[in-house]
């Protein structure tokens, strides 16, 4: 199994990674701003599902899948970036159309936010390639690798999930204090964040 010291260092590294802005964070924050806690949580659920799939692939050591992802890195990356930009443009268009409306904006459907979270998570090939290079660095070569990779993968996934959950709940609570007439402004901000997320993904490069 993984030593306590290695696990503590790995956990701290995961927290830093979880707090680093990226496409998933942009989408979760944007949907939380636009739709509140429920929208944020369903987006997080979709994002975490996609991340679980990628982490499982990396932990299983599926080199052929990772090689294929490396080959199609740019295609998948641009598809994910374009998807985020389209979502951002739609959000900004809705904000511009209804910016003078003082009624609360309707929350997005749970199935929609879940799907968005899942697709954005899966369309970030850098996660899979990064994990393939990241997890082995914490594996003790004098012990069986498979059990260690499983533990590290679970800790990585759980840490990102809990960190994302913490800022989602905090953001939703802050949103709840905003005057109803200003919620439309948050819709515009959400659209801008989605565009930023698309830009981040578009400028991503293969891990060295």
Highest mean pLDDT: which of 25-34, 153-162, 177-186?
Answer: 153-162
- The reply to whether 162 falls in a domain is yes
Task: Using a pLDDT cut of 90, give the percent of the chain over it.
Answer: 18
pTM of the full predicted structure?
0.73
Mean pLDDT of the chain: 78
Task: Count CA within 13 A, CB hemisphere, residue 98.
Answer: 19
Q: What is the DSSP string of 90-143?
A: HHHHHHHHHTT--SPPPPPPHHHHHHHHHHHHHT-HHHHHHHHHHGGGG--TTS
- The reply to whether 207 falls in a domain is no
Distances (CA, A) of 38 to 44, 58, 113, 114: 10, 30, 9, 10
Instruction: Quote the tokens at residue 36.
Output: 């509140």
CA distance 177 to 26: 21
- The reply to whether 46 falls in a domain is yes
For residue 103, the model assigns a pLDDT of 60
For residue 69, the model assigns a pLDDT of 55
- The reply to whether 208 falls in a domain is no
Domain that holds residue 98: 4-202
Asked if 193 contacts 31 with a C-beta cutoff of 8 angstroms, the reply is no
- The reply to whether 37 falls in a domain is yes
For residue 159, the model assigns a pLDDT of 92
Domain count of the chain? 1
Residue 97: how many other CB atoms lie within 10 Å: 9
pLDDT at 136 over 80: no
Asked if 44 contacts 161 with a C-beta cutoff of 8 angstroms, the reply is yes
**For 47-94, how does the pLDDT look when each residue is reduced to its tens digit (9 = 90+)?**
999 999 888 887 776 555 555 555 666 776 787 678 778 887 877 887
CA distance 51 to 124: 10
Closest listed residue to residue 169, CA positions, set 28, 19, 26: 28
- The reply to whether 125 falls in a domain is yes
- The reply to whether 171 falls in a domain is yes
Helices (H), the chain: 4-18, 23-35, 37-60, 63-71, 73-98, 110-122, 125-134, 145-176, 183-202
Which range, of 81-95, 121-135, 179-193, averages the lowest pLDDT? 179-193
Phi, psi of 18 (to 5 degrees): -65, -30
């Amino acid at each position: 199994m993984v030593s306590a010291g290695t696990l503590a260092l790995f956990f701290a590294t995961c927290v830093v990674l979880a707090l680093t802005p990226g496409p998933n964070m942009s989408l979760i924050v944007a949907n939380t701003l636009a739709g509140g806690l429920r929208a944020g949580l369903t987006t997080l659920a979709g994002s975490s599902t996609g991340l679980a799939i990628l982490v499982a692939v990396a932990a299983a050591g599926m080199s052929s899948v990772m090689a294929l992802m490396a080959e199609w890195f740019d295609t998948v990356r641009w598809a994910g970036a374009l998807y985020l930009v389209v979502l951002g443009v739609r959000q900004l268009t809705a904000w511009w159309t209804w910016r003078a409306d003082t009624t609360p904006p309707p929350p997005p459907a749970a199935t929609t936010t879940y799907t968005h979270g899942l697709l954005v998570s899966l369309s970030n090939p850098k996660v899979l390639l990064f994990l393939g290079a990241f997890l082995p660095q914490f594996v003790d070569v004098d012990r069986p690798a498979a059990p260690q990779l499983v533990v590290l993968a679970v800790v990585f996934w759980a840490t990102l999930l809990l960190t994302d959950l913490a800022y989602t709940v905090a953001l939703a609570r802050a949103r709840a204090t905003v005057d109803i007439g200003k919620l439309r402004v948050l819709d515009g901000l959400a659209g801008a964040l989605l565009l930023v997320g698309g830009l981040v993904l578009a400028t991503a490069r293969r891990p060295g």
